[in-house]
Structure 1
Amino acid sequence: MVPLDRAEALRLVGSVALGRIVFTRHALPAIRPVNHVLDDGAVIIRTHEGAALVPAVEQAGAPGVVVAYEADVIDPVTRLGWSVVITGYAELITDPGELARCRALLQPWVDQRMDYAVRVRPDLVTGFRLTDPEEQEEQAD
């Protein structure tokens, strides 16, 4: 495993469309698969009324609720790839103009009305690349 710096980790998250958001629901961890877009360094997701994440974010108030966001690409055969976890505050996007812009940036991946957008501001970004040990030895030579 090779650690990733913040810039490379965010670049990799921006290169994929799917990830998982982790939040607290009824004092227990909850995880949901979502699609996302990276916008000015923040993760934007869209969700729907009734989604478990919406009340968690609404009830938090400023600066938002602490969540984790994880995205990865790992080949099941070679076991090579990368994984990134972003930890930060999630907030509902309520400004009508900004909400419209986010809707234009990110199309829902499920056939369901998605009226809400959530921004996760990355406070802590950690990640690693799973590499072939033989390639690492060759690069060191």
Structure 2
Amino acid sequence: MDTATDRHDLEVLSLQECLSLLGSRPLGRLAYVDRGSPSIVPVNHIVDGRTIVFRALHGAKTDALIMGRPVAFEVDDHDPARAVGWSVLVRGRAEPVDDEEARRFAAELDSWAATTAMRHVIVRIHPEEITGRRLRRS
């Protein structure tokens, strides 16, 4: 079976492979626009079906997220010695989850700010597009 490649000769990953890889790493990068400027922050996450769920501290990041603006989320891995790696990109919109779901996810999600005294919100990214590429040594 031939593997699909893009114009850069990178392997194009299927949706199932993308979802599996997204869930294989606990840390990803969230990209969003805050007050007109792009921001990228690391977040711990889980994959719930086809959506990405993470915990964030209340503040500028969550204010920007819950306004329904576009976001991107990326997870990757690479091994420079073997010249192999992969990247998965999710584009969509984020929104806070309801209280019942928040309680369900709170135990599963670690936070970079390791204090329970800070207020958190659980956020879900609803993907509009999920794409992935893999680099393999020829």
> Would the aligned equivalents of 1:46 and 1:114 in 2 still touch at CA under 8 Å?
no
Which portions of structure 1, spanning 4 or more consecutive aligned residues, are displaced by more than 6 angstroms?
none
Alignment pair present for 1:99 and 2:102? yes
Closer, same or farther in 2 for the Cα pair 1:5/1:11, shift >3 Å? Answer: same
User: Aligned-pair RMSD on alpha carbons?
Assistant: 1.4
Looking at structure 2, the residues matched to 102 and 114 of structure 1 have their Cα atoms a distance apart, in angstroms, of 15
Aligned length: 127
Q: Distance in 2 between matches of 1:44 and 1:129?
A: 24
- Unpaired stretches in structure 2, ≥5 consecutive residues: 1-9
Match for 2:121: what amino acid?
Answer: Y
Unaligned runs of 5+ in 1: 134-141
TM-score by length of 1: 0.83
- Alignment TM-score, normalising by the size of structure 2: 0.85
- CA positional deviation for 1:110: 3.8
Higher helix share: 1
Residues 108, 114 of structure 1: 8 Å contact kept: no
Paired residues of 2:70 and 2:93 also in contact (CA < 8 A): yes
1:70 corresponds in structure 2 to 74
Determine the structure 1 residue equivalent to 2:5.
none
Show CA shifts across 1:91-141 (max 9, x none): 011x211110110221224413452111001110111011111xxxxxxxx
- Identity of matched residues, %: 37
Q: What amino acid is the match of 2:90?
A: I
